[in-house]
Structures are given as C-alpha cells and as structure tokens.
C-alpha cells in the first residue's frame, strides 16, 4: 500500500459572512497526480492556500499532516522548506528580470552581500533543460511567451527541491500544444517519484493525467474517485461538481434569426506598438450579422486579441489602416469612448488586469462603462447605481452576498459575470468576447453561454474569440480561422470540425514557412 504523503483533516475556513471550507478532507499518496475539481468558489484554491501557509495556522480549523507530521505553517516559506510548492494561476514572474533571476528570487545562490551569479545561471540552465525549455536563463521574462513562462515557474519550483507540486489552473492560458507538453512533463515527474496536485477546469486534461480526482462543491468534499477502481467519466465529474446532470454543455438556441450585416471590417492592418515594423494583423476582412455568434479560432499569437483591441477604439497597435463599417456606415473609432458611443463593446481576456477594478465594489464595476446612465451633471445617483447592479446580479445569477462587495473577493466565474454585466449595461449592438470562459468551471460556462444566446436573440451580434475548439464549435454560427495575423479560413457551423480548423492553420503555416 502506497504511503500517504499528505492528509488534510476536517479543514474549515471562514471569511466574514462566508464559510469557504466546511470539514474538507483530502488524502494524497506519495508519487501520484491528484486532481482537485469543483466550480469557481467551491473552495479549491482556498484549500491549497491553507496547505501552503498563505492562510496561516490558527486562521482555520483542522489538521495538516505531511509526511507523518502535523504541520503548522505560518507563511509560504514554512511549507516550501518542507518541499511543498504552489504555482498560482496568475504567474508571479517579474517581466524585466531574467529567467535565472526570477527562478532564484528569494532563494538566492551565495549570500546577500555577494550573490553567486555563475552558480545562479548555471543551475538555472540545468533546470530549464529538465523542463524542456531551450532558452538561456539570461533571457528576460518579457521576451518569452506565456507557455514558456509556465515552464519557468515549474523550474523555479524544482530549484526549491519540491516534493509536492501544486499547480492551480496550469493550462488556462496555454494553447493545445503547450498544454499537452505540460501534462507530459507532469507525467514525467510522476515517473521520477514526484507528487502533484492539479486544480483544473479542463476535465479532459484531468482525466488524462490524474490517478485520483477529488470533487469539492460549496466548500465540502463530495467524493474522491480512483482511476484504478472507479469508472471515471466527464459526466460523472460534472455531476459531482454542479450537483446535477449537465446533459448538454452548450444550450440550444431556439428560432435562430440571423439578419443583415451589422459590423464589417475590410482590409484591416495593425502593427506592433513597440516593434513598429512588425505587422500583427495582416489585411483582415470579416463581418458579423445581427443575431449571429461569430467565432475567431486560432493558436495563441495568431493576432486575434490584437485584431479585437485595434477595432475597439484603437486600444492596441500602431499604424492601423483599413475600413470599419457599423450598420452600413463607415466609422472612424479613435478612442474607447468613441467605440462605446458607436455601440461596440470589448470584453477583455484579462478580467483582473484590464477588465475590472478589483478593489472596488460590484456596483461600481457594473456601471463604469456607462456612467452617463447613472449620473446627472456628472454626479452619480448612488441609489440608481445600486439598483442597476442588483438587477444584473439577479439577471446573471452572480453569487455574492451584496453588490457592495469588492470584485476581488469573488470567484473567477462571478468576476466574469460582473465584467459581462459592465458591458451589457453599456447596451452595445456588437459585443466582442475575448476568451469569455477562461479559467471558469463548466456550470459557470453554461450560464455565460445562456447569456450569449440571450443577447443574440435580442438582435445583437457577438464575436467570440476562444482557444477552446469545442466551445467555438458548440456556440458559433460561423467561424473564422486566424493564423499569423491573417484570416486563413471561414467556415459555416455545419462544415466546421476540430480537424478542419486545424488543417486550415497547418496549411497556412506551411505556406508561410
């Protein structure tokens, strides 16, 4: 029988007005990959924050038993000294420092008065090879992509002599090939004897790598499934997560009525804001009709976000050229305010960095894109602001005790609903959604899909940028395929498949090679 490396017994954690964890139990065997799944707000990250010492001993009830010893961690350093290392969903790397400097930050080689840079970079290069990264450790973090940054975080963990590696949504920002490479690395670590806990909403990935899966719902442990003894299916996992069968991942649209072209882009070109000789959007033409959901599919770096942001009041790029038509009329949107005034909205993929003010209440975030509607002579009507926020809370089923709560205290799925409410209140005709369900669970995804269907049923147009091919195929009436800054294909829903989309991408890449 395998040794139990970690046992968390009867863990209870309470925040003001909310019991986040209620007698949660978790056992992890040495050398296994153990998945932790649940809806946003179920308590997964809270449990891991208790384990790692972010929530110190005394701020929760219950026991942490690690390697046969009861542990009382008061800070992250305490758990790291035991070989427990957590990699959070938001990567904690400093862009203008080198890979090597980041890897040994707080874990320096030498001593504080004389750091040993030869040892730092030499050891960093060794660890980068271990995780399959060919970059020099002297490369700045800002000069490598998100997928490679994720590998740097893992190399950084290895530098701390990790025994138990915790990965919180490690593939949420990665494309399919980078995600697969990361999963294979986890399996390699397992073969070498490392123990891992993975938190993920991507159930296909969980099923692929995990030996056991523990489901948490509403702060309580529902069940633990073992791949050796249990018949584990995605449907069974979902039922445990949401408390019911989710028979269809994508809600049906009734009486679909697609009208005339509402927005059209012709021969659109955009250059990088810093490297102004580099074209990131190359002669793109596309359109979206009233009542239509149009998808833009492609690999990370294809130029999809750059296209969307440049259309949205030139909020990205330089030397932008081409024509933009809304409702048959050519418009020149020189700012975000002009875009909003022309009934265009863009829901960013970075809800925490660019979409919401995390330190402000839900009510302020809900109305800030349309302040004219809640103010008179620049004075905000607080009662009206509050009432509108409550309306959207109820309409979108946002889980929160009050709209006075700061957005930063909400789960990812509920933050995404506040971000949608913000732009829905601006009353756009065209809504561009950039990775609208990134990092949120299947239950919250379904609710957001229902909101999208409701918007197009009202005659609005939705453009959905998504890296998840099943999502694009399940939600969109028409799909554009983008690669290396160009539109390389256009597909009707009836002819689209994952294989067809990927073939467009691969053929266009070969042409450019």
**With 50 as the cut, is the pLDDT of residue 467 above it?**
yes
Instruction: With cut-offs at 50, 70 and 90, classify the pLDDT of residue 442.
Output: confident
User: What is the full DSSP assignment across 181-230?
Assistant: HHHHHHHHHHHTT-EEEEE-S-HHHHHHH-SEEEEEETTEEEEEEETTTS
Q: What is the CATH number of domain 4-242?
A: 3.40.50.300
Q: In whole numbers, what is the pLDDT of the chain averaged over residues?
A: 88
Report percent pLDDT > 90 for the chain. Answer: 52
Q: How far is CA 454 from CA 26, 271, 390, in A?
A: 40, 35, 19
Q: Check if the beta carbon of residue 98 is closer than 8 Å to that of residue 137.
A: yes
One fold for 4-242 and 248-343+429-513: yes
What's the pLDDT at 244?
61
What's the pLDDT at 255?
79
User: What is the full DSSP assignment across 174-189?
Assistant: --HHHHHHHHHHHHHH
**With 70 as the cut, is the pLDDT of residue 389 above it?**
yes
User: What is the biggest distance separating any 2 CA atoms in the chain, rounded to whole angstroms?
Assistant: 72
Domain spans in the chain, listed from the N-terminal domain onward: 4-242, 248-343+429-513, 352-427
**With 60 as the cut, is the pLDDT of residue 299 above it?**
yes
Angle between helices 117-130 and 146-158 (to 10 degrees): 110
Minimum mean pLDDT among 220-224, 245-249, 501-505: which range? Answer: 245-249
- Spell out a b/e string for 205-235, using b for 16 or more CB atoms within 10 Å of the CB, else e: bbeebbbbbbbbbebbbbebbeeeeeebeee
- Provide CB contacts within 8 A for 182, sequence distance 6+: 147, 150, 151, 154, 170, 171, 174
What's the pLDDT at 513?
39
Query: What's the whole-number mean pLDDT along residues 352-379?
Result: 90
Angle between helices 442-457 and 412-425 (to 10 degrees): 10
What's the pLDDT at 301?
73
Q: What is the C-alpha separation between 116 and 465, in angstroms, rounded?
A: 46
Other C-beta atoms closer than 10 Å to the C-beta of 48 total: 22
In sign, the C-alpha dihedral spanning 465, 470, 476, 477 is positive
- Which CATH class for the 248-343+429-513 domain? alpha beta
Q: What is the tens place of the pLDDT at every residue in 39-77?
A: 767 888 889 999 999 999 999 999 999 999 999 999 989
What's the pLDDT at 17?
65
What's the pLDDT at 260?
95
What's the pLDDT at 406?
92
What's the pLDDT at 511?
52
pTM beyond cutoff 0.85: no
- Provide CB contacts within 8 A for 108, sequence distance 6+: 115, 120
**With 50 as the cut, is the pLDDT of residue 512 above it?**
no
Query: What's the whole-number mean pLDDT along residues 258-281?
Result: 93
Q: What is the C-alpha separation between 446 and 276, in angstroms, rounded?
A: 40
């Amino acid at each position: 029988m395998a040794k139990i490396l970690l046992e968390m017994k009867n863990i209870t954690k309470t925040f003001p007005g909310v019991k986040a964890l209620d007698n949660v139990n978790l056992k992890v065997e040495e050398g296994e990959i153990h998945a932790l799944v649940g809806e946003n707000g179920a308590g997964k990250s809270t449990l891991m924050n208790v384990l790692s010492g972010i929530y110190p001993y005394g701020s929760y009830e219950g026991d942490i038993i690690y390697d046969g010893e009861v542990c009382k961690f008061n800070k992250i350093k305490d758990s790291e000294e035991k070989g427990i290392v957590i990699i959070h969903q938001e990567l904690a790397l400093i862009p203008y420092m080198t890979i090597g400097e980041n890897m040994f930050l707080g874990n320096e080689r030498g001593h504080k008065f004389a750091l040993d840079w030869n040892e730092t970079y030499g050891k960093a290069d060794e660890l980068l090879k271990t995780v399959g990264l060919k970059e020099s450790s002297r490369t700045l973090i800002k000069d490598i992509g998100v997928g490679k940054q994720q590998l740097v975080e893992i190399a950084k963990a290895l530098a701390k002599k990790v025994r138990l590696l915790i990965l919180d949504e490690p593939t949420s920002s990665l494309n399919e090939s980078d995600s697969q490479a990361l999963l294979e690395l986890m399996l390699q670590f397992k073969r070498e004897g490392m123990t891992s806990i993975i938190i993920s909403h991507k159930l296909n990935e969980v099923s692929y790598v995990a030996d056991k899966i523990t489901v948490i719902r509403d702060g309580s442990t529902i069940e633990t499934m073992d791949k050796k003894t249990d018949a584990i299916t995605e449907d069974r996992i979902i039922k445990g997560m949401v408390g019911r069968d989710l028979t269809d991942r994508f809600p049906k649209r009734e009486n679909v009525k697609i009208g005339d072209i509402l927005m059209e882009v012709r021969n659109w070109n955009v250059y990088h804001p810093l490297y102004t000789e580099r074209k990131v959007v190359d002669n793109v033409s596309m359109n979206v009709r009233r009542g239509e959901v149009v998808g833009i599919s492609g690999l990370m770096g294809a130029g999809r976000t750059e296209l969307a942001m440049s259309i949205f009041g030139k909020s990205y790029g330089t030397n932008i050229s081409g024509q933009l038509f809304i409702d048959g009329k050519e418009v020149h949107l020189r700012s975000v305010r002009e875009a909003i005034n022309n009934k265009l909205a863009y829901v960013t993929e970075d809800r925490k960095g660019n979409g919401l003010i995390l330190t402000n209440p839900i009510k302020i975030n809900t109305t800030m894109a349309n302040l004219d509607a809640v103010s008179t002579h620049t004075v905000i009507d607080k009662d009206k602001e509050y009432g509108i926020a409550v309306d959207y809370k109820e309409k979108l089923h946002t889980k929160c005790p009050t709209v006075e709560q700061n957005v930063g205290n909400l789960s990812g799925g509920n933050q995404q609903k506040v971000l949608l409410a913000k732009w829905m209140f601006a009353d756009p005709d065209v809504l561009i959604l950039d990775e609208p369900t990134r990092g949120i669970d299947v239950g919250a995804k379904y609710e957001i899909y229902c909101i999208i269907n409701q918007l197009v049923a009202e005659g609005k147009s939705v453009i959905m940028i998504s890296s998840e091919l099943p999502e694009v195929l399940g939600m969109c009436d028409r799909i554009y395929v983008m690669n290396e800054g160009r539109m390389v294909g256009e597909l009707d829903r009836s002819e689209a498949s994952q294989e067809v989309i990927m073939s467009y991408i691969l053929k266009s890449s070969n042409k450019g090679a």
